[in-house]
Structure 1
Amino acid sequence: MNITVVGTGYVGLVTGIAFAEVGHEVICLDVDEIKVAKLRQGNTPIYEPGLESYLIRNIEANRLAFTTVPTQAFAEADVIFIAVGTPERKDGSADLSYIEAACRTVAEEIRHSTVVVIKSTVPVGTNECLETMMNTISLHSIHVVSVPEFLREGQALSDTFQADRIVIGAQDAHSSELVRSIYEPFERPIFLTDRRSAELIKYGANAFLATKISFINEIANLCDELGANVDDVASGMGMDQRIGRSFLRAGIGYGGSCFPKDTKALVQIAGDVTHDFKLLKSVIEVNNTQRHRLVAMAKAHFGSLIGLRVAVLGLSFKPNTDDMREAASLVIIDELLESGAHVVAYDPVAQSQAKRILSPTVEYANSVTEAIDQADACLLVTEWDEIVDTPVDVYCKLMKNPVLFDGRNCYSLDEVKQSTLTYYSIGRNDIIHAYT
């Protein structure tokens, strides 16, 4: 089938490449000429393990192309997928200006009736409004279908080809069946529903996962007060199949482009219909507070951070991505700098992003060992394999003052107890050096 994907950001690019990989003819449209030129050469603008090889393979097989010209993109399209950003406004609501502009372009440029699939995360009822708008502009009928994305950065390919489910929200059987046939080669469970339910499934899923994270972080904080071990508590809870073990890992909170934005957007959506989403408001509040926990530990340990050399390991919001949107490192580093510390940061792939965002006073290292060398303290923020695989003894040998504040509970307590490292973690208060 001939498919056009509007937008070559994270969702759009992965979607287009995946469709080409299963045999569809795909053309991706973007307004950024520089990005399109790089993509044509097989260079991805995002860091995602394995994605570039898929990109090159499908370009060489003539199943995947890129353009900045709408007429070229839409000329033979059987279905158009829109995957542009819906960033957060100051009030927490979704900014729909990009998706509205994309839909307007579709309506103005298409030369035949078509189905438009919205992959972007949008408030409930948006697909209906977009359909009305496009049909007002276009001379050809347009049917809008909602297919929310559930990709995790760093695991986008596995989440695509081994998806738990594909949600298709449509108002007519023909559009629903057409989109279902596109996804059939993936051989994954397909759930058919209406558009509004599909829109809310996306927000509901992310809100629930964020709730699990904030819940286990509150349990971890309680463990610190009661002398329990959150790892054991989470494992015991997770053995209950009604609960499950995933997303019950204590730490310093969630970040990224989805959970923070989508939780706040859902609170706003609820508020628009005068529903006070108290639970989700608390989830957001807990997450915002949790980000300050490592610096609070450091201040409690040292009394003052003025003049201390503090290593920060990991800058991206999670491993295997260079995405720093809503990353805990942003809050932590700003707070360290405000407290008078000198920050030395290291991340395997996100440092170029960090240099555009963080204070110019931040120093950057080229490795874990360089970052912690002669440091007075170390804050572990993102659990990259390279960081987690660094033996505890390395901290003891290289740091001026071997104190590690582990925001992701990466090291086993048994390993730490056998070292001279002073070790603080989240909700594991049974170690002799633990935070009290």
Structure 2
Amino acid sequence: MKVTIVGTGYVGLVTGACLAEIGNDVFCVDVDPRKIEILNNGGVPIHEPGLQEMLKRTRAAGRIQFSTDVKASVEHGDIQFIAVGTPPDEDGSADLQYVLAAARNIGKYSNGFKVIVDKSTVPVGTALQVKKVVDEELKARGLEGSAKHGFSVVSNPEFLKEGAAVDDFMRPDRIVIGIDDDDAGNLAREKMKRLYVPFNRNHERTLYMDVRSAEFTKYAANAMLATRISFMNDLSNLADTVGADIESVRRGIGSDPRIGYHFLYAGCGYGGSCFPKDVQALAQTARENGHTLRVLEAVEAVNHDQKDVLVNKIVRRMGEDLRGRTFAVWGLAFKPNTDDMREASSRRIIEALLQRGATVRGYDPVARDEAERVFALDLADRPEDIKRLHFVKTQQDALTGADALVIVTEWKEFKSPDFWHLKSALKTPVIFDGRNLYEPEAMAEMGIDYYAIGRPHVELDRNGSRS
């Protein structure tokens, strides 16, 4: 099938690559010439495991192309995926300007019946706005109501986890498709069914529903996952106060099959491109419709405060004035297996340390370049702080001579380090762990002063041994 993907970010690029992998003829378009140049030169503008290899195969087979030519992209695809960004507006609502611009271009250059697929995460009612914009463009061309130039707007939200997006697309647990119940919708349903046949061979994964319900489903899914995270983070702070171990609590409640273990890990807050903006957007949608989603507003508030918890532990242990102190920070991206720094907890934590006069040496396996770019913007008006922020190439470079280690992202390579070497590299054997990677008892046995999230702190005596 001939497919067009509008937007080459995480969602668009993964969608295009995976659809080309199973044999479709895919045209990826983006208004950013830098991205297209990178892609046409064999590179990938984002870090996503397995994506570069897949793009190499599909490029070699001639099944995927990249261009800034909007007219050609519209003429190419019978199915037009809109996979552009929907950043949060000032009031928290999703900014739809890029979605509607893509829709306008489809109407402007349409050369036949088009299935227009909202792949971007968009609020309930967006499909209606897309339809209106396309209708306006067709009317301007004198084609409104033409069967040949008809179209149907479909909602097909993505459920891709950054760091596992390729696997999620190729082995989906569900495919949600929202379609109107009319003649154009029936034709769109047949095309979408044919497109997704390869993903339904073992069993039917596609859930058909009305468009508004499909739009709502995406927000509801992310809101539920964010709620679980904030719930555990809220409990972890109480566990710190009453002396309980949140890890024991997690195992105790996760063993209940009605609850399960997924997204029950306490930490230093969620980030990324989805959870923060989707929680805000759903809460704003509620307000616009005269409702208050009290649980979600609490979820957002808890997450905001959680990003300060690790800094508060550092201040209690080492003092408010951190001038002359150096901190090694392991993990900069908002989660492992990505270089995405959007809403990353490291940004708040590092800025807080710098504000108190500390020097920071940050290490991340893949996000170093993106971190340098982001912090250059974040600290543009704080040149003295920038001088004390260094991004290093190895874990060891971060550790040597530092006063303490701060763990922010749970990369696999951080889970089982050489603790004796780590201890000897630090000026003082102190770890502040924002992801609960290690066992407090084991750390105490090795003479490491270990502070985690919602886990007991085992006191050491003056000789650095467990007291």
Report the TM-score, using the length of structure 1 for normalisation: 0.97
Q: Distance in 2 between matches of 1:308 and 1:71?
A: 56
State how 1:24-423 maps to structure 2 within 5 Å: 24-138=24-138, 139=143, 140-171=149-180, 172-187=185-200, 189-304=205-320, 305-358=322-375, 359=379, 360-361=386-387, 362-423=389-450
Query: Identity over aligned residues, as a percent?
Result: 46
1:189 Cα deviation from its structure 2 partner = 0.7
Q: Distance in 2 between matches of 1:54 and 1:384?
A: 23
Query: Could you tell me which amino acid in structure 2 is paired with residue 178 of structure 1?
Result: K
CA RMSD of aligned residues (A): 1.4
Q: Distance in 1 between matches of 2:131 and 2:280?
A: 25
Query: Could you tell me which amino acid in structure 2 is paired with residue 64 of structure 1?
Result: I
Question: C-alpha deviations, 1:177-225, integer Å up to 9, x for none?
Answer: 3212211112261111011000110000000000000001111111111
Q: Distance in 2 between matches of 1:307 and 1:179?
A: 60
Q: Distance in 1 between matches of 2:406 and 2:438?
A: 13
1:414 Cα deviation from its structure 2 partner = 4.0
Residue pair 1:168, 1:180 contacting (<8 A) in 2 also: no
1:31 Cα deviation from its structure 2 partner = 1.6
Secondary structure class of the residue paired with 2:328: strand
Q: Distance in 1 between matches of 2:257 and 2:4?
A: 41
Q: Distance in 1 between matches of 2:118 and 2:460?
A: 51
Residue pair 2:83, 2:119 contacting (<8 A) in 1 also: yes
Query: Could you tell me which amino acid in structure 1 is paired with residue 195 of structure 2?
Result: I
Instruction: Count how many residue pairs are aligned between Structure 1 and Structure 2.
Output: 434
1:239 Cα deviation from its structure 2 partner = 1.1
Query: Could you tell me which amino acid in structure 2 is paired with residue 280 of structure 1?
Result: L
Secondary structure class of the residue paired with 2:406: strand
Q: Distance in 2 between matches of 1:16 and 1:431?
A: 51
Secondary structure class of the residue paired with 2:317: helix
Aligned to 2:465: none
1:382 Cα deviation from its structure 2 partner = 0.6
Structure 1 stretches of 5 or more lacking a match? none
Query: Could you tell me which amino acid in structure 2 is paired with residue 77 of structure 1?
Result: G
Structure 2 stretches of 5 or more lacking a match? 144-148, 380-385, 462-467
Residue pair 1:424, 1:433 contacting (<8 A) in 2 also: no
Question: C-alpha deviations, 1:352-406, integer Å up to 9, x for none?
Answer: 1111222422112211111011111121001112222323223211000111000
Q: Distance in 1 between matches of 2:189 and 2:420?
A: 58
Q: Distance in 1 between matches of 2:124 and 2:407?
A: 38
Question: C-alpha deviations, 1:121-175, integer Å up to 9, x for none?
Answer: 1110011111122022122222100000111111101111121101000103322
Secondary structure class of the residue paired with 2:115: strand
In the alignment, does 2:11 pair up with 1:16?
no
Q: 1:433 to 1:24 in 2, by over 3 A?
A: farther
Query: Could you tell me which amino acid in structure 2 is paired with residue 301 of structure 1?
Result: R
Residue pair 1:93, 1:269 contacting (<8 A) in 2 also: yes
Question: C-alpha deviations, 1:36-78, integer Å up to 9, x for none?
Answer: 1221232111001111000010011111111221232222422
1:108 Cα deviation from its structure 2 partner = 0.2
Query: Could you tell me which amino acid in structure 2 is paired with residue 254 of structure 1?
Result: Y
Secondary structure class of the residue paired with 1:75: helix
Q: Distance in 1 between matches of 2:236 and 2:285?
A: 30
Residue pair 1:260, 1:326 contacting (<8 A) in 2 also: yes
Question: C-alpha deviations, 1:384-432, integer Å up to 9, x for none?
Answer: 1222232322321100011100000011234313211100001111634
Q: Distance in 2 between matches of 1:410 and 1:197?
A: 39
Query: Could you tell me which amino acid in structure 1 is paired with residue 453 of structure 2?
Result: I
1:267 Cα deviation from its structure 2 partner = 0.7
Q: Distance in 1 between matches of 2:253 and 2:186?
A: 42
Q: Distance in 1 between matches of 2:309 and 2:151?
A: 50
1:34 Cα deviation from its structure 2 partner = 2.8
